Amino acid sequence: MKIPELFGESVFNLQVMQDKLPKDVFKSLKKTIDEGLPLDAGIAGIVANAMKDWAVEKGATHFTHWFQPMTGITAEKHDSFISPVKDGKVIMDFSWKELVVGEPDASSFPSGGVRATFEARGYTTWDPTSFAFIKDGTLCIPTAFVSYSGEVLDKKTPLLKSMHALNKQALRILRLFGNTTAKRVFPTVGAEQEYFLIDRKMYDARKDLVFSGRTLFGAKPPKGQEMEDHYFGPIKSRVSAFMHDLDIELWRLGILAKTEHNEVAPAQHEIAPIFSITNVASDQNQLMMETMKKVAAKHGLYCLLHEKPFAGVNGSGKHNNWSMSTDTGLNLLDPGSTPAENSQFITFLLAVVKAVDEYQDLLRLSVASAGNDHRLGANEAPPAIVSMYLGEELAGVIEALEKDVKYNGKGKQVMKLGVDTLPDLPKDATDRNRTSPFAFTGNKFEFRMLGSTFSIAGPNIIINTIVADELRQFADELEGAKDFNEALHELVARTIKEHKRIIFNGNNYTEEWTKEAKKRGLLNLRNSAEALPYFASKKNIELFERNDVFTEREVRSRTEIMLENYSKVLTIEALTMIEMGKKDIFPAVNTYISDLCAAVSAKSSMGASCEAEKELIKKLSASNEAMYFKIGEIEQLLVEVKGITDVEKAARFFADKIIPVMQEMRAYADDMEVNTAKKYWPFPTYGDILFSV
């Protein structure tokens, strides 16, 4: 198998376009893709036909507009290419209209009240900047999704808008630094993805995994991750076969899958692609997650993408490596080696610092979900407090710039912007602070708070928009300055002074940091119910409107969708716990108790002692009864929450009132699991699942 030939074979990429399209059509389409320009309507028909011929040649029979509604996963509706002609025959046909617009019924997708039922229609429109591809015999056309009245109903459109805003403002800054060659600036992203692989039979035997993606019960196994023998450990042959197949499938789809390794927890792994332009990285991450599930199924495995499938062992996240690049290949977060490059770098860096400080709330809520609530703030993932890590060297530079003093780092430099050169900033992985939520890693930032199931579109919409907004303010100030260097110097020192509180290079997992962060006035939004309402604050609505990313109505509807989603997830979890408690655990423990009782009477009749049995019977009976009444409490609370119509209040009710009782119920069940004979327990245990592959 020749990998270079296989790579991208299922993708209608630039190479294919060049081969299959007339020269002038290709040129026009390439311009649209490279410069983000509107599509020349005249060429759509020719492109559609070429795409169809190519797809049919590769065995495709159907096409679909592939879009990303606010469910967080992708959606598709398949149509076949067939079109009837005379004599009852058909031809394979695909018109420009079918390529460019689709009209799925939007009424069954979340819209947060944006769309009344009388305008149930939604439109999907082709996004030529992301390549079409073939998946399971269907030509998939990446599209945006909007309502009949023009409101955005997906995650892709605002992502493209945020990229547009960033481009506009970053170019203004570049021009100020004398760069006249860059035509475009775009954000780049490399998303590292964590996941668990378990045996399919284990998955099927657990209703909680099937319904909610995570285990709602389960006592700690005798062996967890304490031996630290899984991280980067040898990969088991079944897993290795899966990874190999996965790479091949991803390569076919033109996804640059690069690194695969074992993670910290047993059965946990990670895959990382090489970074690309953000909208492509976002589409590809969705496709990657889908492909992981599919390939796992072929190997008799199940791929768990939930943030916390198992209590007591590490959960799964996604690291969003983010930077900005010009079309000429310049990474704007690369410090460079000359004084001029350095001061441009410092300017872009400080825009990010200011953005993260002023919009901690948005970054925090962009990663908020019921699943991720189990990770953030626990000692395995970044805390719920947003802060930034710059590393010792860069922090020293920043301090020198603020105080306008000699920089006494390793290089013993005086830092005068535009005159002095930055000291070497070590890119070495060894001194990176793994506990920081937003870490500078040499030439990019790594946002580490994302949950493993997340579409990366949401967090990147936020990062792009907030950085664009700060760059806009910088450009406004600097463009109007009499003396550019003077003005820059002043801007840099002031920005550092006002926003350095967000920089923290220490251990984010400590209690002291929580206290220190409070002193610094940083936000600590502990769960989704607390964090999500911030989306629709006045400051944030103004930000989104100013940068043309969301309208106020879109912000409000999205807030509602996210809060509703949180409550829905918890409702499903609560109902699943009730069902497993009543139908599986309670009767199983009772059977064991009756068998123990029978043993006691048999043994007693022979005069044998039954103290152990009697104690166990008492213990299990008490726990089972207590669990039963907790179930009743949850049921009662679910009735109560139904009566709360305000979505924010309902979410808070779940967080404050229902989750604690769910945890209490689980504690009784887990305790009984430990004390119940193996053959009576109604589903596989943590030990069975985690060591099943």
The footprint of ligand ADP on this chain (CB under 6 A) covers a number of residues equal to 16
Strands (DSSP E) contained in 86-178 are 90-92, 101-102, 122-126, 133-135, 138-147
- What CA–CA distance (Å, rounded) separates 104 from 162? 25
**What residue 193 binds from ligand ADP, Mg ion, none (CB within 5 to 8 A, per partner kind)?**
none
**Binder among 41, 227, 429, 639 for ligand ADP (CB under 6 A):** 429
Q: Which two tokens stand for residue 370?
A: 């019921």
**Binder among 162, 188, 464, 685 for ligand ADP (CB under 6 A):** 188
The smaller minimum CB distance to Mg ion, of residues 319 and 558, is found at 319
What residues form DSSP beta bridges with 142?
Answer: 66
**What residue 161 binds from Mg ion, ligand ADP, none (CB within 5 to 8 A, per partner kind)?**
none
Is residue 475 within a helix (H) or strand (E), and if so which, with residue range? helix 457-479
We find the least distance from the C-beta atom of residue 444 to ligand ADP, in angstroms, to be: 4
The footprint of Mg ion on this chain (CB under 5 A) covers a number of residues equal to 1
The smaller minimum CB distance to Mg ion, of residues 135 and 319, is found at 319
The smaller minimum CB distance to ligand ADP, of residues 110 and 190, is found at 190
We find the least distance from the C-beta atom of residue 453 to Mg ion, in angstroms, to be: 18
Q: Which two tokens stand for residue 298?
A: 């072929």
Burial of 582 (0-12, 13-18, 19+ CB in 10 A): middle
The smaller minimum CB distance to ligand ADP, of residues 323 and 342, is found at 323
Using CB under 5 A as the criterion, what x/- string covers residues 7-46 for binding Mg ion?
A: ----------------------------------------
Output DSSP code: residue 69: B
> Are the C-beta atoms of residues 610 and 604 closer than 8 Å to each other?
yes
**What residue 151 binds from ligand ADP, Mg ion, none (CB within 5 to 8 A, per partner kind)?**
none
Q: Which two tokens stand for residue 663?
A: 């945890």
Using CB under 6 A as the criterion, what x/- string covers residues 376-415 for binding ligand ADP?
A: ----------------------------------------
The smaller minimum CB distance to ligand ADP, of residues 189 and 400, is found at 189
**What residue 272 binds from Mg ion, ligand ADP, none (CB within 5 to 8 A, per partner kind)?**
ligand ADP
Evaluated on CA atoms 320, 254, 300, 62, the torsion sign reads positive
- What CA–CA distance (Å, rounded) separates 639 from 658? 11
- What CA–CA distance (Å, rounded) separates 30 from 17? 9
- What CA–CA distance (Å, rounded) separates 291 from 330? 32
Using CB under 6 A as the criterion, what x/- string covers residues 225-264 for binding ligand ADP?
A: ----------------------------------------
Q: Strand, helix or coil at 562?
A: helix
Which of the ranges 60-68, 417-425, 438-446, 584-592 carries the binding residues for ligand ADP, by CB under 6 A?
438-446
The smaller minimum CB distance to ligand ADP, of residues 406 and 427, is found at 427
**What residue 291 binds from Mg ion, ligand ADP, none (CB within 5 to 8 A, per partner kind)?**
none
**Binder among 21, 182, 189, 381 for ligand ADP (CB under 6 A):** 189
* Chain residues 276-335 in contact with ligand ADP, contact rule CB under 6 A: 321-323, 331
**What residue 394 binds from ligand ADP, Mg ion, none (CB within 5 to 8 A, per partner kind)?**
none
207 touches Mg ion by CB under 5 A: no
Annotate 165-226 with DSSP letters as a single string.
HHHHHHHHHHHHTT--S---EEEEEEEEEEEEEEEHHHHHT-HHHHHHSS-S--PPPS-SST
Q: Please name the residue ranges forming H helices in 21-86.
A: 23-35, 44-57
In sequence order, the 6+-apart residues with CB closer than 8 A to the CB of 272 are 190, 191, 192, 193, 257, 258, 259, 260
Q: Strand, helix or coil at 18?
A: helix
Is residue 188 within a helix (H) or strand (E), and if so which, with residue range? strand 185-199
**What residue 407 binds from Mg ion, ligand ADP, none (CB within 5 to 8 A, per partner kind)?**
none
Q: Which two tokens stand for residue 657?
A: 């009132």
Q: Which two tokens stand for residue 299?
A: 């190997």
- Among the listed residues 215, 269, 217, the one whose alpha carbon sits nearest the alpha carbon of residue 247: 269
We find the least distance from the C-beta atom of residue 508 to ligand ADP, in angstroms, to be: 17
The smaller minimum CB distance to ligand ADP, of residues 429 and 639, is found at 429
We find the least distance from the C-beta atom of residue 448 to Mg ion, in angstroms, to be: 7
Using CB under 5 A as the criterion, what x/- string covers residues 309-328 for binding Mg ion?
A: ----------x---------
- What CA–CA distance (Å, rounded) separates 367 from 448? 10
**Binder among 443, 473, 551, 590 for ligand ADP (CB under 6 A):** 443
- What CA–CA distance (Å, rounded) separates 502 from 308? 28
Q: Strand, helix or coil at 123?
A: strand
> Are the C-beta atoms of residues 137 and 60 closer than 8 Å to each other?
yes
**What residue 443 binds from Mg ion, ligand ADP, none (CB within 5 to 8 A, per partner kind)?**
ligand ADP
Residue, CB closest to Mg ion: 319
Indicate the Cα dihedral angle 169, 171, 175, 179, nearest 10°.
150
Using CB under 6 A as the criterion, what x/- string covers residues 82-121 for binding ligand ADP?
A: ----------------------------------------
The smaller minimum CB distance to ligand ADP, of residues 174 and 202, is found at 174
Most distant CA pair in the chain: distance in Å? Answer: 103
Q: Which residue has the tokens 């079409």?
A: 132
Is residue 586 within a helix (H) or strand (E), and if so which, with residue range? helix 586-605
Site residues (CB under 5 A) for Mg ion?
Answer: 319
Site residues (CB under 6 A) for ligand ADP?
Answer: 188-190, 192, 272-275, 321-323, 331, 429, 441, 443-444
